[in-house]
Amino acid sequence: MTARSISNGATASVKKPGKLTRLGRQWQLMIMSVPMLLYVLLFNYAPLWGWMTAFQDYTTKKGFVNSPWVGLDNFKWLFSNNDFLLSIRNTLAMSLINLVFGTVSAVLLAVLLNEVKNRKFKRTVQTVTYLPHFLSMVIVVSMAQNLFSSNGAINDLLKSLGLVKEPVFFLGKGEYFWWLVGVINVWKEVGWGTIIYIAAMTAIDPSLYEAAAIDGAGRFQRILHVTLPGIKSTFMVLLIMNIGHLMEAGFEIQYLMRNGLVMKYSDTIDVFVMIYSFGGSRPHYAYGVAAGMFKSVVGIILLLGANRIAKLLDEETLI
């Protein structure tokens, strides 16, 4: 240790001590950061080692070392399994619905909030619309069960408006599931989603609005030509991030709301992993690992792809 630092010091200039000596002087910073580095290596990197099991006929008894290798058999099984293929479809469908609805609603609400002059009213609306973000998915699904049940408030409303005669079984029809998840997610996250856009809007130079007004631009033209271009870079960064998360359609809401009647539409890849890994007579971890690995790798490819396209279009990039 000392020998190396001395030799390092010798090669460096006279004034500058060697790298290790300099690092040694930063021992306090190392105390503050290295334990967390080790923690992350254990909890975030060590599990990647578990991807090995995707190529094994893994049982916990035999462990990583002694389980026999089976090549790509687990993946072959996955891609011939109808439930898995359906789960890919459901994942993509629900994330696309979430992405489109979530982004449009958040930008819209942010624009409306940005036009409010009364600060107190603006704050109140923000407080109210942020609220659902902090409620757990269990609470939200519990509320949704009351609201969407066959004699719940939504059916009452539809009946009193004369739109339906018989109650609609929102929670028991597969065709409604994706849209129901979309609606619930928008309800939960629309307010929270505005925070970033509103921050971007407050950064817009006010003189731009004044100049536009002098040029005769009405309110809608100002929104169209000043506000929206002002949040474009934020929008692009979030879009790239969201495209990277297309394989993450969520797990909690689908798992909590699924029942025998909607399974074909509710099960995302994560739900599939949960059901197939733990559901059988003995745990089939290898299938779950293979499915999770597939999801993760596709996610990375999507992220890098979206980033690349943004770069080609000369837009703001993430990486």
Partner 1 sequence: MTTTAMKKPVIKKRRDIVFPIVNTCILIILCFMTLYPVLNTVAYSFNDGLDSVKGGIGLIPRKFSTESYVALIEDPAIYKAFLISLSKTILTTLLNLFFTGMLAYALSRKEYMLRKFITMVLVFTMYINAGLIPNYLLISKTLGLKNTYWVYIIPTMFSCFNMIVIRTYIGGLPDALVESAKIDGAGDLRAYFQIILPLCLPVMATVALFVAVGAWNSWFDTYLYNGSKKDLYSMQYLLKMKLATTQNQASNAAAASSEALAAAQKSKTTPITVRSAITVVSAVPILVVYPFLQKYFVTGMALGSVKG
Distance CA 288, CA 78 (A): 9
Positive or negative: CA dihedral 16, 19, 44, 35: negative
Query: Shortest distance, CB of residue 54 to partner 1, whole angstroms?
Result: 9
Per DSSP, helices labelled H in 203-284 are: 206-214, 219-222, 228-230, 232-244, 252-257, 263-266, 269-278
Q: Write down the least CB distance from residue 5 to partner 1, Å.
A: 13
Specify the residue, 153 or 211, whose C-beta has the smaller distance to partner 1: 153
In whole angstroms, the minimum distance from the beta carbon of 101 to partner 1 comes to 15
Quick one: 19 exposed, middle or buried, by C-beta within 10 A (0-12, 13-18, 19+)? middle
- Give least dist CB 98 to partner 1, A: 18
Least spacing, CB of residue 186 vs partner 1, in Å: 10
Rounded least distance, CB 85 to partner 1, Å = 19
∠ CA 302-304-306, rounded to 5°: 65
Residue 239 CB, nearest distance to partner 1 (Å)?
Answer: 13
| Residue nearer to partner 1 on the CB measure, 92 or 143 | 143
CA distance 114 to 165: 41
Dig out the tokens for 308 from the structure. 């690349």
Comparison of 130 and 208: residue with beta carbon closer to partner 1: 130
Q: Judge contact between 84 and 295, C-beta under 8 A.
A: no
Tell me how far apart the alpha carbons of residues 212 and 223 are, in angstroms, rounded to a whole number: 10
- In the bound state with partner 1, the residue whose beta carbon lies nearer, of 199 and 211, is 199
Q: Which residue in the block uniquely carries the two structure tokens 């001395």?
A: 6
The answer to whether residues 90 and 182 touch, using CB atoms and an 8 Å cutoff, is no
Q: Give the C-alpha separation, 188 to 256, whole Å.
A: 16
Q: Which is nearer to partner 1, 92 or 261 (CB)?
A: 261
Q: Which is nearer to partner 1, 69 or 134 (CB)?
A: 134
Structure tokens at 49: 């080692």
Task: Give the residue with the Cβ less far from partner 1, 46 or 85.
Answer: 46
Report d(CA 72, CA 88) in Å as an integer.
Answer: 19
Residue 64 Cβ, how far from partner 1 at the closest point, in Å?
Answer: 9
Report the C-alpha gap between 249 and 172 in whole angstroms: 20
Nearer to partner 1, 93 or 273 (CB): 273
